[in-house]
Amino acid sequence: MSTVVLIGAQWGDEGKGKVTDFLAEKADVVVRYQGGTNAGHTLNVADKVFKLHLIPSGILYPGKTCVIGNGVVLDPAALVKEMVGLQERNIDLAQLRISDRAHLVMPYHKLLDELDEKQRKEGKIGTTLRGIGPAYMDKVNRVGMRVADLLDELELREKLSAILEAKNMFLTKVYGEQPFSLERIVGELRQYAEILRPYITDTSVLLEVLILQNKKVLFEGAQGTMLDLDHGTYPYVTSSSPTAGGACCGTGIGPLRIKHVVGVAKAYTTRVGDGPFPSEITGAMAERIREIGREYGTTTGRPRRIGWLDIVVLRHACRVNGLSFLALTLLDVLAGLETVKICTGYRLRGELIAHVPASLHALDSCEPVFEELPGWQEDLSGVEQFEDFPETAKAYVRRIARLLGVPVALVSVGPERLQTKVLHEIF
């Protein structure tokens, strides 16, 4: 079996797009299993920049099967826009497959995301406003619209009519908004349905066949472990399961079908949106890292919050995902610093703790315990081999692996494919 799940080990934005793209070159199949257009990958391929939100990055290679699994919440308007954008740049979509069980992000979900955030005031989550939470809420509440519903207009109209009645009642009575028109939404969905129809299938059946044919399958997680609905810093999380287990539920494969789990982590930490962040730094050092690392959200453009590498968070990620390997990104950004810090534990009310506490209040009260290592002055971006990195940079990477007990398989020092150094082969 040749299957790899790739997950974000921190708060998202770890550079998964780049690592996915690197592994996708070897993979036969690339699969998205959760999230929606809240995710955003920027890919640099042959001096072209691609920004993808829903379509797996394998699409940039001819002949790779790219699957949008059932666990994804799919905004048909955004998907069609992304597809047209790729076609205009001569990217072939023939191998794209969309699960008939994926739930749809509807126009009222996007409005509700915005209204709910406004209503939360100071307690806002800082969502991407892409309708993700409300779409997953409807899925769990069993009133979601699914991709399969697009394929039969009569059924679509009947189902949506009942759902919309309740939604409109809520929107008009609670929020004082205008009701959505059934005809308008049905009209739009019919157009999208005709474009998407050729790509829609039972992707669980397809994946089973491909895995049994020993194809190399890469499951690409969006967001990150600390944004996981169960294992993240709840309620400052997304509404899906970005952790490795999500790959099973979100695609319809069994856990024994997964061979390796790779966690992607930045050489430091960032987070967008609100919520606790124990190793956060502010001031000139944060500014410096933000500017050099271009730490602004791909989806929303928001400046990311910056922190030192947090081993407590990564230890948590190693455990809840069962990591086989770590891929360390953006190591080049830390060049030029006299020393670099690693948060190895938290101090909570005078007591040293090694694990992420469940209580938000406790996490907020945690003070980071730092270990300080010598930095390196050399620019790493042009160095060909990991062995040729300055000793202090290599020591930093090795220290991380030792603290976590997980080997570092990839180290990336820039956006280009050649800037990813392979320490262990993954596929």
Q: Which residues are catalytic?
A: 13, 41
Residue 235, interface with ligand IMP (CB under 6 A)? no
Q: Least distance to ligand IMP from the beta carbon of 104, Å?
A: 16
Paired sense of beta strands 339-348 and 351-353, if any: antiparallel
**Nearer Cβ to ligand IMP (303/375):** 303
**Nearer Cβ to ligand IMP (277/325):** 277
**Nearer Cβ to ligand IMP (317/340):** 317
Q: What 8-state DSSP symbol labels residue 296?
A: B
Residue 264, interface with ligand IMP (CB under 6 A)? no
Rounded to an integer, what distance in angstroms lies between the CA atom of residue 132 and that of residue 109? 7
In angstroms, what CA-CA distances link 238 with 134, 165, 280, 353? 11, 27, 20, 26
**Chosen residue from 133, 263, 307, 415 binding ligand IMP by CB under 6 A:** 133
Q: Which residue is nearest to ligand IMP (CB)?
A: 273
Site string for ligand IMP, 330-349 (x = CB under 6 A): --------------------
**Chosen residue from 57, 128, 241, 344 binding ligand IMP by CB under 6 A:** 128
**Nearer Cβ to ligand IMP (133/250):** 133
Rounded to an integer, what distance in angstroms lies between the CA atom of residue 155 and that of residue 76? 18
**Chosen residue from 3, 10, 20, 38 binding ligand IMP by CB under 6 A:** 38
**Chosen residue from 26, 93, 117, 126 binding ligand IMP by CB under 6 A:** 126
321-344 burial: b if 16+ Cβ within 10 Å, else e: bbbbbbbbbbbbbbbebeebbbbb
Q: What are phi and psi of 327, to 5 degrees?
A: -115, 120
Q: How many residues bind ligand IMP (CB under 6 A)?
A: 20
**Other Cβ atoms within 10 Å of 391 Cβ, number:** 9
Among 20-28, 219-227, 322-330, 397-405, the segment contacting ligand IMP (CB under 6 A): 219-227
Residue 127, interface with ligand IMP (CB under 6 A)? yes
- DSSP H or E run through 401: helix 391-404
DSSP per-residue codes, 31-90: EE-SB-TT--EEEEETTEEEEESSS-GGGGSTT-EEEE-TTBEE-HHHHHHHHHHHHHTT
Residue 363, interface with ligand IMP (CB under 6 A)? no
Residue 227, interface with ligand IMP (CB under 6 A)? yes
In angstroms, what CA-CA distances link 340 with 209, 309, 396? 47, 9, 8
Rounded to an integer, what distance in angstroms lies between the CA atom of residue 136 and that of residue 239? 6
Residue 279, interface with ligand IMP (CB under 6 A)? no
The tokens describing 393, both together, are 């940079």
**Chosen residue from 20, 223, 279, 412 binding ligand IMP by CB under 6 A:** 223
Residue 269, interface with ligand IMP (CB under 6 A)? no
Query: Which residues here bind ligand IMP, judged by CB under 6 A?
Result: 12-13, 38-40, 125-128, 130, 132-133, 222-223, 227, 236, 238-239, 272-273
